[in-house]
Copies of this chain bind each other. A is one copy, B any other.
Amino acid sequence: MPIVTVQVTREGTTPGRNSVSAEEKAAIIKGVSEVLLNVLHKPLESTYVVIEEVDLDNWGWGGLPTAQYRTLRAAAAKS
């Protein structure tokens, strides 16, 4: 009877896309449901998966909004 909640930033995996695609969501749902089936023998039909897409402004990391933190890290990696 598991519930799996997946929180990710709302952005694309390729240029020109700015959200997770329906195919990617389906793959996440399939993948995590199968993990629960394989590890704990939970039947697929008893697992709920909820995907929450979070705007970049609303996700903080390193004390900063994510976009700023990534810029900072990229700069640090170059120096």
Using a CB–CB cutoff of 8 Å, the interface residues on chain A facing chain B are 1-9, 13, 20, 22, 24-42, 44-45, 47-54, 57-66, 68-69
Contact = CB atoms under 8 A, between A and B. Distances in A.
A60 B8 contact: no
A53 B55 CA distance: 10
Contacts of A59: 1, 48-51
Contact of A48 (B3, B33, B34): B3
B35 A65 contact: no
A32 B35 CA distance: 7
Contacts of A32: 4, 31-32, 35, 60
A32 B3 CA distance: 13
